[in-house]
Structure 1
Amino acid sequence: MSAPDIRTTRARLIATIGLCFLVALMEGLDLQAPGIAAQGMMSAFTIDKLHMGWVFSAGVLGMLPGAFIGGRLADRFGRKRVLMASVGLFGLFSLATALAWDYNSLIIARFLTGVGLGASLPNLIALTSEVAGPKIRGTAVSMMYCGVPLGAAGAALVGVNDFGVGWHLVFYIGGVIPLLIVPLLGFYLPESQAFAKAAGGDVKVSELLFKGGSAKPTLLLWISFFFTLMVTYILINWLPSLLIAQGFTKADASWVVLSMQIGAAVGTLFLGALMDRVPAWVMSLVIYIGILSALAGLYFSISVPAMLVAGFIAGIFTTGGQSVLYALAPLYYPAIGRATGVGSAVAIGRIGAMSGPLVVGKMLALGTGTAGIFLACAPGIVVAAAALCYLSAAKKIVKDQPTYGSEIKPAVLNGN
């Protein structure tokens, strides 16, 4: 690759990661927003914890069709176009959340926000992984995805001080800024070269996911995504309420959530860089042992400083581990169907993300304590760990166009 080509490719890499980071930042804020606003929303709409669980799950339920349809449309019409539409959609309905007039309108607004959020993520992953190439894919995706925990940390800061606006403020912010980002994407985001070269072709979803050796990695990815996102979203949605139930103040709970999201940003960057250097089975052990340790810490901590440390560790391994899965998924699908393959895994993960908060809401309504909630997470973590270990033996598809990443360093392929 000549020097001018390298400079052009580097510019595409920086523009893509930077703009996708901004979208991820707002996605993270909106994902954390219901957890931060939960107490105010329950008071405003006179609902109990069980009904609040449906508010949490409505957004995640919207992500399920959003992720799959967004990925499929992106493989047909382009990552950039679908990402712009997705960002506009979740910005618009985040504003609608703040303006909801009753419980039903709140549920509808959260569902449609989730559709936009779900459709954006496969495109963020596909754009970033394709511009980086297989050799720095983990690092590039983690740099983009660290916007999610940083955005969630921003939501936690809003929870600490809402400037008298109340629970609506976080949704106003989560609505206006994405709408301002859309024109930036239109002017400055380059379309994926891998998509441009594959444009015009098509592949059946069943063949992409289950034939030609794809069935094994597809199913293992789905299992890992399901249980990892289930635990991650239990913490995102219910941790503030669980902490308040343990005797901590609302401000204490917001600081712990902030600590968790700072840990998530650190973990996303660290684990993403580590992924480019070690086999998948090593990553599995690191991530899921870390998650189990964090859950134990969250239960046994009785002081605010200890809880801040436990929250920080939880963020490192839950959201950080999630970013590793996002970076791994593109390795198993060709460019012609990559967004569809990634979108299917994200969609399955959203089922776990939706079911987790719902189950916890029901358990809390039945009087289950914090210990029962954390213990219920453990079996799923063990299953996810086993699936990711086994995934390291699956064949990867990594033959893409020359990229900036291909000029830098070798990757760890095939799990060894």
Structure 2
Amino acid sequence: MQTNIDHRSGGRQALSLAFLAAVIEGFDLQAAGVAVPKLAPAFGLTPQQIGFFFSAATFGLIFGALAGGRIADGWGRRTGLVLSLVTFGIFSVATAFVSSFEQLVVMRFLTGVGLGGALPNLVNIAAESTDPARRGRAVAIMYAGVPLGGAVASGVAMLGLHGDDWHSIFVVGGVMPLILAPFIHTLLPPLRVLKNDVKTVSGAVSRIFAPQTLITTTALWVSFFLGLLVVYLLLNWMPQLLVARGLARNEASFVQILFNLGGVVGSLIGGRMLDQKNPVMPVALGFAAAAGALLMLGLLPANLGLTLVAGALVGGAILCVQAILYGVAPQCYPFEIRGTGVGVAVAVGRLGSIAGPLLAGFLVAGGSTPSDVMFALVPITLLAGLTTVLLLVRRGRSLQMA
């Protein structure tokens, strides 16, 4: 059995709950980066161990996205989201009580599983909370919560609100989803039941790779992989690259906050672009603007004022096109396999989130300047735009799924 939100009686409530969950998700995604300056000395972590700690969550995100998408189709969006919130809530709190590096890695991996499982459910709840003509906007509103939560986490780090206690950031990050989970369970609007004729994982996967959807699936995967490669390279490396260009570390942190806040605005713009009667040209221009913003950031001198403006514009443009991808994804598959389809696409995107920081490390180790790294992202962004435009052309405005 499957469920779909009654658009007439609670779409706004469903979207509001999804937005709150996305804010918490964004906070928890960046919690490790906030905690690590205090956590690393406490455990005596080497740079390699810190990298492994970060990577553990990323691998958890991949497994979580696959599981979360299938739970969304098999047990319903509400159940999938509640389970994900409880999972990353429990293991985030547990992270604050570990006593060894090995336990730290395990807890972060399991937190990542919960975080990864939440996003496919959030995307589908948002998409199904409104009529088809406004789906892109609804998903974008939900997705705007992720960079907003990231901005809050970055602000906590810059202002030192967590003090000298690295434990508190994980406790707060874990308690918030545990508080929200029962509200999601009880307040998510009534769902009307639809028959699901896809009973197994293999059945859902075979539908995703059916001849009529194979090109769509491939284009979606390429777009997600390249899009998240760019996003996570910037999230992980932009502060270091800015410091290498001459900015102070606190100035680079401030740029990162504006990157996230720009992403909130950009996400909302992306949703409106996707809901245009003919979105192909606006979306193509959006990706071109993202490439232009990266060029601008690479060419600007190391001036704080100019870099703050450029950071906000890059965040707005890059997360605008990422919101477009999350808005397109649920429109690529029929309801009965939508959760699985979106979950697998998000999981493939998480591979891009691993590749992005590795690419930057490879380029920097090879002698590339910070500007060279920004320039390298331009063709990647344009290729992601090309495959996204292909998706929109194939979908057309006739594809209006329930």
TM-score of the aligned structures, taking structure 2 as reference length: 0.90
- Answer whether contact 1:208 1:333 (CA < 8 A) is retained: no
Task: Report the equivalent of 2:334.
Answer: 334
Task: Report the equivalent of 1:54.
Answer: 52
Structure 1 residues 15 and 326 mapped into 2: Cα distance closer, same or farther (>3 Å)?
same
Shift of 1:289: 2.0
SS in 2 for 1:149: helix
Which stretches in structure 1 are left out of the alignment for 5+ residues?
A: 1-7, 402-416
Q: Which moved more, 1:199-208 or 1:286-295?
A: 199-208
Using the aligned pairs only, state the percent identity. Answer: 36
- Superposed counterparts of 1:337-348, under 5 Å: 337-348=337-348
Q: Distance in 1 between matches of 2:106 and 2:66?
A: 19
Task: Report the equivalent of 1:375.
Answer: 375
Listed one character per residue, the Cα deviations across residues 20-56 of structure 1 (whole Å, up to 9, x for unaligned) are: 1111001111122233344444444444555433333
Shift of 1:270: 1.3
Q: Which moved more, 1:72-81 or 1:93-102?
A: 93-102
Structure 1 residues 111 and 252 mapped into 2: Cα distance closer, same or farther (>3 Å)?
same
Structure 1 residues 96 and 295 mapped into 2: Cα distance closer, same or farther (>3 Å)?
farther
Q: Which moved more, 1:58-67 or 1:390-399?
A: 390-399
Q: Does 1:290 align with 2:292?
A: no
TM-score of the aligned structures, taking structure 1 as reference length: 0.87
- Structure 1 counterpart of 2:326, which letter? Y
Structure 1 residues 244 and 64 mapped into 2: Cα distance closer, same or farther (>3 Å)?
same
Structure 1 residues 257 and 166 mapped into 2: Cα distance closer, same or farther (>3 Å)?
farther
Shift of 1:75: 0.6
Q: Which moved more, 1:370-379 or 1:259-268?
A: 370-379
Q: Does 1:29 align with 2:27?
A: yes
- Answer whether contact 1:131 1:192 (CA < 8 A) is retained: no
Q: Distance in 2 between matches of 1:281 and 1:53?
A: 39
Q: Distance in 2 between matches of 1:307 and 1:390?
A: 33
Q: Which moved more, 1:31-40 or 1:184-193?
A: 31-40
Shift of 1:364: 4.6
Q: Does 1:319 align with 2:313?
A: no
Q: Distance in 1 between matches of 2:48 and 2:183?
A: 40
Task: Report the equivalent of 1:5.
Answer: none
Q: Distance in 2 between matches of 1:254 and 1:351?
A: 26
- Answer whether contact 1:290 1:313 (CA < 8 A) is retained: no
- Structure 2 counterpart of 1:25, which letter? V
Q: Does 1:202 align with 2:199?
A: yes
Structure 1 residues 224 and 93 mapped into 2: Cα distance closer, same or farther (>3 Å)?
same
Task: Report the equivalent of 2:214.
Answer: 215
Listed one character per residue, the Cα deviations across residues 294-322 of structure 1 (whole Å, up to 9, x for unaligned) are: 32333334122111111111111222211
Q: Distance in 1 between matches of 2:52 and 2:376?
A: 19
Q: Distance in 1 between matches of 2:102 and 2:245?
A: 30
- Structure 1 counterpart of 2:135, which letter? R
- Answer whether contact 1:35 1:238 (CA < 8 A) is retained: no
Aligned residue pair count? 392
Task: Report the equivalent of 1:160.
Answer: 158
Task: Report the equivalent of 2:310.
Answer: 310
Which stretches in structure 2 are left out of the alignment for 5+ residues?
A: 1-5
Structure 1 residues 262 and 230 mapped into 2: Cα distance closer, same or farther (>3 Å)?
same
| RMSD (CA atoms) | 2.3
- Superposed counterparts of 1:8-407, under 5 Å: 9-163=7-161, 164-190=163-189, 192-193=191-192, 196-199=193-196, 201-202=198-199, 204-277=203-276, 279-299=278-298, 300-361=300-361, 363-364=363-364, 368-395=368-395, 398-401=399-402
Shift of 1:72: 0.8
- Answer whether contact 2:24 2:177 (CA < 8 A) is retained: yes
- Structure 1 counterpart of 2:318, which letter? T
Listed one character per residue, the Cα deviations across residues 347-403 of structure 1 (whole Å, up to 9, x for unaligned) are: 1101101221234345556665423432332332232122112222214684545xx
- Structure 2 counterpart of 1:341, which letter? G
- Answer whether contact 1:122 1:346 (CA < 8 A) is retained: yes
Q: Distance in 2 between matches of 1:369 and 1:168?
A: 36
Q: Distance in 2 between matches of 1:97 and 1:42?
A: 14
- Answer whether contact 2:141 2:267 (CA < 8 A) is retained: yes
Task: Report the equivalent of 2:3.
Answer: none
Q: Distance in 1 between matches of 2:280 and 2:60?
A: 32
Structure 1 residues 147 and 311 mapped into 2: Cα distance closer, same or farther (>3 Å)?
same
Structure 1 residues 103 and 280 mapped into 2: Cα distance closer, same or farther (>3 Å)?
farther
